[in-house]
Amino acid sequence: MFGKNSPDGYSEVLPGIRIKTLTYGAASLMTEFLLGKDVALPEHSHVYEQVGYLVKGKMKLYIEGNPRILLPGDSWNIASNLRHKAEIIEDSVAVEVFTPRREDYMKFVHSSDISE
């Protein structure tokens, strides 16, 4: 499966946070997040392991209460069920992979951007 670059197909999941599922397989899913400056992603946890990469911007990511400033090129891994939240310091773009595949994020697939 291939994902095609496109500015279309983003959905706002929280004010200032837009998401698009880029591609997926049987066991994993890749998403792109557009994160607005001064937005706070509330603390949460989930069963998915989450690996991320900051493409652009600046943010503070907290994992189990421990903060880390992230700059473009930085990456992270959040193990299953760990509490995490983020404060977006500058407009940012992040790419994250979730495993197992998040079925709830399948609704963010923009079908014209995916091909076999």
pLDDT of 10 reads 95
What pTM did the predictor assign? 0.93
Task: Give the residues of the chain that fall short of pLDDT 50.
Answer: none
Backbone angles phi, psi at 100, to 5 degrees: -65, 170
CATH number of the domain that residue 64 is part of: 2.60.120.10
CA distance 97 to 56: 17
> Quick check: is 104 in a domain?
no
Mean per-residue pLDDT over the chain, rounded: 94
Q: Which tokens is 87 given?
A: 């404060």
- pLDDT confidence of residue 1: 79
Gap between the Cα atoms of 59 and 71, Å rounded:
7
Q: Say what the pLDDT of residue 110 is.
A: 82
Q: What is the pLDDT of residue 47?
A: 96
How many independent structural domains does the chain possess?
Answer: 1
CB atoms within 10 A of CB 43: 11
Residue-range definition of the domain harbouring residue 55: 33-99
Q: What pLDDT does 54 receive?
A: 98
pLDDT of residue 113: 75
2: in domain: no
Domain presence at residue 44 = yes
The answer to whether residue 11 is domain-embedded is no
